[in-house]
Structure 1
Amino acid sequence: MSTLPKLLTQGSALFLDFDGTLADLAHRPDAVDVPGDLARLLDRLHEQLNGALAVVTGRAREDIEPMLSPWRWPAAFEHGALRISAHGDVSAHRPQGIDRAVAAAQHLAGRHTGLLLEIKQTSMALHFRLAPSLEALCVQTLSRAIENAGGLQLLRGKAVIEVKSVGVNKGLAIQAFMNEAPFAGRLPVFAGDDVTDEAGFAVVQRLGGAGIKVGAGTSIALHRCDNPQALRAWLTEATLTPLIHA
């Protein structure tokens, strides 16, 4: 994969996914090994960009914040259904019908070892990394659970199926940040690893910025790097010298 160019300047806005991007994927969401210096790295980047840095993740707020405690940055959790602006304003959207999907997933996880249900404030995720043969059953069960709920959709990621609002994705979350200070007027850069990040790549590149695909797989992102370690090294290098003017 190609070496990343120096994309970050004083006029950049930086958006970062978490799992598979800043931190390596694990067999369970609660087993992720967070590098000890990651919070300090985010702090340095946040300062250099005058606050124009946000984490954009599918994770629930209560799940990820303890991993990088104390949390100090703007963020979009649950693919943007829960968003915290740079000024601390919180917006959240819980769609109707999500409880039925949760109940169906709970029943399925109770019958099959290896399935892990993650219940969030506005959505849910059913992980099958430990039971890959159950993928089709998970899709079928959740599809039936939401078939009469027009405001819900299935979102398939790496060994996970999520149920969330149709009006929520990472691209919309990034666009909302870009309409606010300190992000407005800057060129956005977004790094992510999964199909759920493609909407984010589309938005930042439509705005004249750049997407960075972490790892293998088809993507519309303009740039690539091998793995989270390579991305962290690139981010660290950006903090070692003053960012140039755009």
Structure 2
Amino acid sequence: MQLLPQLTTAHALFLDFDGTLTELAPRPEAVRVASGLIPTLRALHAQLGGALAIVTGRPEVDIDRFLAPLRLPLASEHGARYRLSDTAISAIEPPGLAPVLHAAQALAERHPGLLVEQKSASVALHYRLIPHLESLCHDTLSHAMQGVEGVELLRGKCVLEVKARGVHKGQAISDFMRQSPFAGRTPVFVGDDVTDEAGFAAVQALGGWSIKVGEGPTMAQHRCMTPAALRGWLSAARTPATTSHARAPSSVRPGVPEGAHAGVPAMNPPGEQER
């Protein structure tokens, strides 16, 4: 597997959120955004001429709250909703998920620790706090979705989600790449989960680069072991011109990008193999 590529102004950058930009947390609302991340994203967004988007399973309200005051281009709910400018639009007709929501809520009432997340176009059931119930959660959702047309079950890290069939991050990235300011650039997508594999496939089909954060099998060409290391790579990609407009966080020594201590590989020209 290759070392991390060198990010340039010719790229379009697509970033997952949980497990990629931030460490995972026991509950979705407990995620913490590292100091320095928001200035880095702001600087890279300007440096790339606006061609930086968050591609996530989360609803847009979550991302905007965590990254405030930034409002970046966004594909939320795995690509069910798009935001290229100020207003988000639905990319699909949301399916009727009332039977799935009812079944998930009933299960959560019987098993405290399960968390039901209702989104505009999907229902997610989180079992991170009680992982031994994975099979029960899977069977419950699978049974409930039998009466709903046009949906599929998506597996993530300690989460199962019923969503519209055919909605995935790869399609979202492909759609963004046909729009300004992304069109004509080389796409780069960074993710950590099996839900990101479709995004990896999409950028590779477009001649771009894919980066997997963490362990596990993947089709991605590059790997970065931790979110902290990924943040270090992003920070190091900022040019002096954009870096000068944002004060470095107090926890990072001048000249040492965040994550350097976490084993960030030296950035080499694309195609240079790890030695």
Offset of residue 241 of structure 1: 4.7
| Contact kept in structure 2, 1:188 and 1:204, CA below 8 Å | yes
Distance of 2:73 and 2:176 partners within structure 1: 9
Instruction: Say yes or no: does 1:39 pair with 2:54.
Output: no
Offset of residue 2 of structure 1: 6.0
Summarize the Cα distance change of 1:63–1:71 in structure 2 as closer, same or farther, 3 Å threshold. same
In structure 1, runs of 5+ residues without a counterpart are: none
| Contact kept in structure 2, 1:216 and 1:226, CA below 8 Å | yes
| 2:5 alignment partner, SS class | coil
- Give the percent of matched residue pairs that are identical in Structure 1 and Structure 2: 55
Offset of residue 5 of structure 1: 2.9
| Contact kept in structure 2, 1:13 and 1:189, CA below 8 Å | yes
Task: Give CA deviations for 1:18-70 in whole Å, capped at 9, x if unaligned.
Answer: 00000000111011111122111111000000000000000011222111112
Offset of residue 12 of structure 1: 0.3
Deviates more, 1:208-217 or 1:112-121: 112-121
Match of 1:90 among 88, 91, 99: 88
Instruction: Pick the structure with greater CA Rg.
Output: 2
Task: Give CA deviations for 1:201-231 in whole Å, capped at 9, x if unaligned.
Answer: 0000000001000000110000001110000
Structure 1: which amino acid aligns with 2:30?
A: A
Distance of 1:62 and 1:76 partners within structure 2: 12
Structure 1: which amino acid aligns with 2:155?
A: R
Summarize the Cα distance change of 1:27–1:68 in structure 2 as closer, same or farther, 3 Å threshold. same
Structure 1: which amino acid aligns with 2:21?
A: L
Structure 2: which amino acid aligns with 1:141?
A: T
In structure 2, runs of 5+ residues without a counterpart are: 243-269, 271-275
| Contact kept in structure 2, 1:115 and 1:131, CA below 8 Å | yes
Distance of 1:94 and 1:118 partners within structure 2: 19
TM-score (norm 2): 0.84
Task: Give CA deviations for 1:65-102 in whole Å, capped at 9, x if unaligned.
Answer: 111112321001100101101x3343213432312111
Instruction: Say yes or no: does 1:178 pair with 2:177.
Output: yes
**What's the counterpart of residue 146 of structure 1?**
145
**What's the counterpart of residue 48 of structure 2?**
49
Number of positions where the alignment pairs a residue of Structure 1 with one of Structure 2: 242
| Contact kept in structure 2, 1:95 and 1:151, CA below 8 Å | no
Deviates more, 1:48-57 or 1:34-43: 34-43
**What's the counterpart of residue 213 of structure 1?**
212
Summarize the Cα distance change of 1:242–1:40 in structure 2 as closer, same or farther, 3 Å threshold. closer
Summarize the Cα distance change of 1:197–1:132 in structure 2 as closer, same or farther, 3 Å threshold. same
TM-score (norm 1): 0.94
Offset of residue 242 of structure 1: 6.9
Instruction: Say yes or no: does 1:5 pair with 2:5.
Output: yes
Distance of 1:131 and 1:175 partners within structure 2: 36
Structure 1: which amino acid aligns with 2:78?
A: H
**What's the counterpart of residue 267 of structure 2?**
none
Structure 1: which amino acid aligns with 2:123?
A: M
| Contact kept in structure 2, 1:97 and 1:146, CA below 8 Å | no
